[in-house]
Amino acid sequence: MFFKKKKEDISQKEFEVKREETLLTLKDIIAPPSIDIQQDYLRLGEKYAKTFFVFSYPNQLVTNWLSPIINFDRIFDLSMFIYPMSSEEVLRTLQRKITEVEADIMDRQQKGLVRDPKLDEAYKNIEDLRDKLITASEKIFKFGLYFTIYGDSLDELSKIEKEIRQMLESQLIFMKPALFRQKQGLISSAPLLIDEIQVSFQLNTSPLSTTFPFVSFELSSDRGILYGINQHNSSLILFDRFSLENANMVIFAKSGSGKSYFQKLEILRSLISGVNVIVIDPENEYQYLAETVGGSYFNISLASPHHINPLDVPLPIEGESPESAFRSNLINLVGLIRLMLSGLSPEEDTLIDKALTQAYALKDISPETIFERKSPPLLSDLQSILEGIEGAESLSLRLQRYTTGTLGGFLNKPTNVSMQSQLVVFSIRDLEEELRPVAMYIILRYIWNIVRSELKKRILVVDEAWWLMQHDDSASFLYGMAKRARKYYLGVSTITQDVNDFMMSSFGQPIISNSSLQLLLKQSPATIDVVQSTFNLTKEEKNLLLAAEVGEGLFFAGTKHAAIKVVASYTEDQIITTDPEQILEIRKAKRELND
């Protein structure tokens, strides 16, 4: 190497030249390892690229016609070249065109032919444009539009080309590949201000303004609540979940990513707009919110004074037959008892159905009298009947745990809770883990009976829904609620941090499909592939969820979606925060204020 020579052995100029030759240039660093140029595509290392140009436009262009391309979830380069033209030259051309069109119109009149509306429209348009050019209210430009798409294979390039072509041709805009000019196309699409394609179309100022490229999906409406900031363009995401085909929402996020914070913020803002909210709270996160807004808070536990009788009868609904309501109630109760007893055989299903009918009959409740206000039976009544049915001794013994056993104070009591408040929270934090699915099922049944009996704008929040998804009966009931909620002006919000457990249930995907709103916050690398396949995310969206900060993610509303950042005012933050340090500071300030 020349560096082994002494500097004195060569001239200073020669030394500088050799040193420059050995240094990497910027071009060396950013250049691909290889370039293979074909007639209709390029291969840049392991990537494939293909350039297109637009050669035809319709007579009229609508505002934001380029928006579907800008928001296209693929990697591509788009470049525009705008060249101003001399108004004098254009005016001379227009004058010749007007003369030609006038001559054609007069020729048709002399021959007695019917007037051609195309010629009349062309004459009118040319005159209108000429007048605007003369008054300088419009100018003429040459406009070139090029796309360079990228893919990992030729098949992927073909798929992307087809998708872009469909979006453009649906608006009567047509493009062609830059055959034998792919190298020039790549240069023209790069941010180098070099147009080597030189394919342009003349546009005046008005249609040219419709090509403004800085557009993105808007999730703003004239009513609803503020969900957050659109990170694409810093606009507000204002939305009314009840304006969609259904008002259901699913929220997937890892622990600590801000899902409960978001949900409490939505609850607080929904309450202000007059919506009633019901929450099933597994971790006691909504108590302070309920107390602050004057809502009802019920702690469901073994030692709690609050009880819900699982054998409560449904309330009357307009148009529903008593017999149908009675049978539906029995079916749901058999599912509940199957969950409580960790499964039933077909024979045991029949015995439970028979015993339930008899238990209601003892209280003079039948398909004909179910809507009459009578005291429903308790689980202890059901157990007593099972003891007298041949072959049901085992069922009676297993049910004893919930009547006179350790769990007797939990379920074997009349209902003494009410849902009259605008915000109602059912907390199950103090229940043992094995009882949580049972408690959530019972609470959901109670809520569903109330919701169906009185039409009112409501939101039901089921936090940590994966508890229910572990069992087919409870998962099926939650799915049934989500599917039928729209008829009763109810929006079901399903929240979970355990995506794998949720999606392992056969009812996981159907619940998502029946939710018009979806929120994805920061995800764990262990579950991101499941989330990506479930929601058909692109690589960029997948990476966004992996690198998202607290309160950041993707918000889906119907067919639209955007990157969201959840924001709250100082007052809202003081009410809904889940940060332990901040909560301790708030409690300390309260104690000092009381002292």
Residues 166 and 270 in one domain: no
Do residues 43 and 183 both lie within one domain? Answer: yes
Examine residue 240 and state whether it is found in any structural domain, yes or no: no
Among 414, 447, 479, the domain boundary falls at: 414
CATH number at residue 450: 3.40.50.300
**Is residue 296 in a domain?**
yes
Q: What is the DSSP string of 469-512?
A: HTSHHHHHHHHHHHHHGGGGTEEEEEEES-HHHHHHSTTHHHHH
Same domain, 152 and 115: no
**How far apart are the C-alpha atoms of 573 and 580, rounded to whole Å?**
13
CA distances 330 to 324, 333, 357, 367, 509, Å, are: 10, 5, 8, 11, 27
CB 493 within 8 Å of CB 251: yes
The model's pLDDT over 99-145, given as tens digits with 9 standing for 90+, comes to 888 888 888 788 777 777 777 777 777 787 777 778 777 888 999 99
Contact (CB, 8 A) for 557 and 239: yes
Within a domain: residue 238?
A: no
Which residue type sits at 476?
S
Q: How far is CA 357 from the centre of its chain?
A: 44
Whether residue 408 lies inside any domain: the answer is: yes
Same domain for 494 and 539: yes
CA distances in angstroms from 413 to 307, 345, 375, 523, listed in the order given: 6, 27, 12, 42
Q: What domain range includes position 528?
A: 245-308+416-569
Q: Are 217 and 232 in contact (CB under 8 A)?
A: yes
pLDDT score recorded for residue 24:
61
CA distance 97 to 86: 17
> How far is it, in rounded angstroms, from Cα 82 to Cα 407?
77
The pLDDT profile of the chain, 595 residues, written as one tens digit per residue, is: 444 444 455 566 676 666 666 566 667 777 788 889 999 999 998 899 999 999 999 888 887 788 778 777 788 999 999 999 887 878 888 788 888 888 888 887 887 777 777 777 777 777 877 777 787 778 889 999 999 999 999 999 999 999 999 989 988 999 999 999 999 999 999 988 899 999 998 888 888 888 877 555 566 677 789 999 888 767 788 888 898 889 999 999 888 888 889 999 999 999 998 999 999 998 888 988 998 899 999 988 888 888 888 898 888 777 778 888 888 888 889 888 988 888 888 888 899 999 999 999 988 888 888 878 788 899 889 989 998 888 888 888 888 888 887 677 778 888 888 888 999 999 988 888 778 888 888 888 899 888 888 888 999 999 888 888 888 878 888 898 899 899 899 999 999 887 877 888 888 889 998 898 999 999 988 889 888 888 888 787 888 899 889 999 999 887 778 889 999 988 888 888 866 676 677 667 767 777 6
Domain shared by 57 and 187, yes or no: yes
Domain assignment present for residue 301? The answer is yes
* Residue 3: predicted pLDDT: 43
Domain check: are 133 and 191 in the same one?
A: no
- Find out whether 210 and 61 touch, Cβ atoms under 8 Å: yes
Residue 249's nearest CA partner among 542, 513, 595, 494 is 494
Cβ atoms of residues 223 and 274 within 8 Å: no
pLDDT for residue 174: 94
User: Which one of 215, 232, 263 terminates a domain?
Assistant: 215
On whether both 496 and 561 belong to a single domain, the answer is: yes
Say if residue 508 is in the same domain as residue 558: yes
Give helix 322-340 / helix 436-453 axis angle, nearest 10°. 170
Let me know if residue 576 belongs to a domain.
Answer: no
Q: Is 38 inside a domain boundary? A: yes
> Given this model, what pLDDT does residue 369 score?
82
Domain count, the chain: 5
Does a structural domain hold residue 594?
no
Task: Check whether residue 52 and residue 193 sit in a common domain.
Answer: yes
Tell me the C-alpha to C-alpha distance, in Å, between residue 356 and each of 242, 326, 351, 399. 38, 11, 9, 13
Written as six digits, the tokens of 581 are 């340090």
Q: How far apart are the first and last CA of the chain?
A: 82
| Residues 492, 496, 498: CA angle, nearest 5 degrees | 150
Prediction pTM value? 0.64
Please report the DSSP string for 125-177 in residue order.
Answer: HHHHHHHHHHTTS--EEEEEEEEEEEESSHHHHHHHHHHHHHHHHTTT-EEEE
pLDDT tens digits, residue range 507-555? 888 999 889 899 999 998 888 988 888 888 878 788 889 988 999 999 9
Residues 304 and 346 in one domain: no
Q: What is the CATH number of the domain that holds 336?
A: 1.10.8.730
Strand 35-37 and strand 76-84: the pairing is unpaired
User: In this structure, are 166 and 74 located in the same domain?
Assistant: yes
446 plus 526 within the same structural domain: yes
- 357 SS3 class: helix
